[in-house]
């Protein structure tokens, strides 16, 4: 497991939007913005069941994350790694934590504060645990 340098922890601890790149079935990369956090050396993101990112990571666990400070884009971190776990258990709670961090509201909930509450019956969050295997930093 690779460790994130102290100089770049604030990029992962947020609230900076992260570019998550996964691999499509045809081998092409697919990149989407996500929210993330970290715990015990792992990076955690949250995706929705059945969405392209989720399906890509289930078929190919290789991912890349890129985070930069929009006020200083040369201060950035790229993390390459592998998905080691995808679970619905605790995913809503994790998504609520991310919502509180990114919206800067201590009691915010993803369903209701970030997206309409009625979508909760259609979307199933999946918490994704990523093991960093390569870290590159600038700035």
pLDDT tens, position by position, 15-54: 899 999 999 999 999 999 999 999 999 999 999 999 999 9
Residue 1 has pLDDT above 70, yes or no: no
pTM: 0.92
For the chain, which residues make up each domain, given as ranges? 6-138
For 6-138, which CATH class? mainly beta
Question: In whole angstroms, what is the distance from residue 80 CA to residue 62 CA?
Answer: 8
């Amino acid at each position: 497991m690779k460790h994130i340098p102290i100089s770049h922890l604030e990029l992962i601890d947020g609230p900076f939007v992260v570019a998550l790149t996964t691999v499509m079935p045809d081998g092409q990369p697919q990149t989407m913005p996500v929210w993330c956090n970290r715990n015990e050396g792992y990076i955690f993101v949250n995706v929705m069941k059945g969405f392209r990112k989720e399906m890509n990571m289930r078929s190919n666990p290789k991912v890349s994350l890129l985070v930069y400070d929009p006020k200083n884009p040369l201060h950035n971190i790229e993390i390459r790694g592998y998905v080691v776990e995808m679970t619905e258990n605790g995913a809503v709670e994790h998504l609520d934590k991310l919502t509180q961090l990114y919206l800067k509201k201590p009691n915010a909930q993803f369903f209701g504060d970030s997206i309409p509450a009625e979508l909760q019956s259609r979307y199933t969050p999946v918490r994704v645990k990523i093991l960093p295997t390569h870290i590159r930093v600038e700035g």
